[in-house]
Amino acid sequence: MTARGWLAPRILFPLYERLSGRWPWTELRRLRTLQWRSPEELEARALWKLRPLLAHAYTHVPYYRDLFDGAGVRPDDIRTMSDLARVPRSGKAELRANFPARIVADNLPKRRRETAMTSGSTGLPFAFYTDRAGLDSRLGSYLFFREWAGVAFGDAALYIAAPPQLSPVRAHSSPLSRLARRLVLGERVIHLSGPDLRAARLVAELRRLPAKSGYWIWGWPSYVGRLAAELLETGVALPTAPRAIIAYAETLTAADAAAIVRAFQCRVTNHYSSYEVLHLAQTCPDNPEALHVNSERAVLRVVREDGSPAAPGESGRVVITDLTNRVMPFINYDIGDWAVAGAPCPCGRGFPTLTSPEGRVGEVIRTPGGKTITPVGLGWHIRQAFPYIWEYQAVQTAEDAVVLRIVPTTRFSADLARKLAQDLEEFLGPGLRVQVETVDRIAVEASGKRLIIKRSHGWRSSPSSLTR
């Protein structure tokens, strides 16, 4: 261990906390202990935070008062997590329409408001307030999940995301915060623009790091996946393997994950975060099949269309209640994602689980037969083709037509394309033609994100039931 590595948790962190009045490392230590408590105890803790939040929202936020009254529910009626199903869900559209006058609490000082904004990847950007009082929870959760992924103290952080002009959120990117991280944590932070990043540039950046410095990657899986493909295709070798790779912001496909593991010789961790509530859940350190939700931070429910809880293994909508935002409460907030509800994890940690985030709500194929196919469902079906392709995207161009775009490896063939189209047609059911098209690159959206499934402009179909 370096001198700084020894000193920091004993001297620097407590000093920082004393001087700043912020307690991220105290929160980190709490989470380290709490993760091993029973699911029942952790649920009781979340409820203990939830009930005063509901009472606060009812009294001080007109939007929620009307919502509760309209549904004939009083905050006191919510005694268990499943009672939350009685509170109608709110989405981005409702919150945006009521912002700020009817959705911001009338009893809290303005200095607690921190303006934030979602990306425009699902339509219009959405401006909202987070609560500065929730900062310790947010930073503590970030540090905790980093540790879970295997990041060591002082490792350099390589951020691989969309360039700033494509993303309204630039976490930790101010020169001042970079300097602070360098001085206090001994941590170099390197931001690399995903769309422009090539393997040679990555290797050059890694060679510039001090000889013994470890590093980790915090990146969008489409960009890291492309880099992995380039490394594998060209045979360019990395000076050293990263200590951890954390994927966030986009759906991590099995194809990307496999290529990343092969190219970087490092496990890839799936981090589930949203602009509205950051650092929500992450892959279990001992069980790659499950993500654990930080239940100290938010109540995350996977629900059916009627609002009732999905059973373990069942797909549903992700609905979130932020336990740390009193300024602008998010209660039963439909975040616009699909996920699969999880069962208790055998690792012994009590935090609730998700099996996998499955992509954005609009990121689906709808078949004439009434099936809805999510990115994970599609990936599962075409997994036999993964050794032959780098990337893919399915575009539903009409109610009866899907084009599967493929970025092929040199081993891909016309025979394979025909077989893939045939298999996919069978899977999707009657009335849908599938055409496989090879391309050099999958284009990204205006937000810089890649969609696994998209529908071509102007075409819409009615919602139907969801199948994996």
Site string for Zn ion, 103-142 (x = CB under 5 A): ----------------------------------------
Taking 3-state DSSP, the helix, strand and coil percentages for the chain, each rounded to the nearest 5, stand at 40, 25, 40
Q: Does 350 bind Zn ion (CB under 5 A)?
A: no
**Smallest gap from residue 352 Cβ to Zn ion (A):** 10
Closer to Zn ion by Cβ: residue 348 or 463: 348
When the beta carbons of 36 and 459 are compared against Zn ion, the nearer one is 36
Give residues with Cβ within 8 angstroms of 236, minimum separation 6.
199, 200, 203, 230
Q: Cα angle at 393 between 388 and 396, to 5 degrees?
A: 135
Q: Is the dihedral of CA 291, 295, 297, 299 positive or negative?
A: positive
Contact segment (CB under 5 A) with Zn ion among 72-80, 109-117, 283-291, 440-448 equals 283-291
Q: Which one, 270 or 447, has the nearer CB to Zn ion?
A: 270
Looking at beta carbons only, is 357 or 448 nearer to Zn ion?
357
Among candidate residues 353, 351, 352, the one with its CA nearest the CA of residue 37: 351
Member of 347, 401, 416, 439 binding Zn ion (CB under 5 A): 347
Q: How far apart are CA 429 and CA 433, in angstroms?
A: 9
* Binding flag, residue 31, Zn ion (CB under 5 A): no
Q: Which window, 93-101, 108-116, 281-289, 406-414, contacts Zn ion (CB under 5 A)?
A: 281-289
Shortest Å distance, C-beta 255 to Zn ion? 24
Beta pairing partners, 360: 337
For position 173 contacting Zn ion by CB under 5 A, the verdict is no
Q: Which helix (H) or strand (E) holds 50?
A: helix 39-60
**Residue (232 or 347) nearer to Zn ion, CB:** 347
Work out whether 287 is an interface residue with Zn ion (CB under 5 A).
Answer: yes
Q: Which span sits near Zn ion by CB under 5 A: 20-28, 38-46, 285-293, 304-312?
A: 285-293
Q: Are 323 and 297 in contact (CB under 8 A)?
A: yes
Q: Which stretch binds Zn ion (CB under 5 A): 101-109, 212-220, 349-357, 391-399?
A: 349-357
Which amino acid would we find at residue 26?
T
Does 284 bind Zn ion (CB under 5 A)? Our answer is yes
Residue 227 touches Zn ion, criterion: CB under 5 A: no
Number of residues that bind Zn ion (CB under 5 A): 5
Least separation, in Å, of the C-beta of 351 and Zn ion?
A: 8
Nearer to Zn ion, 317 or 349 (CB): 349
Residue from 345, 385, 406, 466 binding Zn ion (CB under 5 A): 345
Q: Max CA-CA distance within the chain?
A: 67
* Ramachandran angles phi, psi of 315, nearest 5°: -80, 150
Q: What is the DSSP string of 267-313?
A: -EEEEE--SSS-S-EEEETTEEEEEEE-TTTEEEEEE-TTSPBPPTT
Report CA torsion sign: 48, 105, 98, 165. Answer: negative
Instruction: State the amino acid at position 8 in one-letter form.
Output: A
Does 349 sit near Zn ion (CB under 5 A)? yes
Residues that bind Zn ion (CB under 5 A): 284, 287, 345, 347, 349
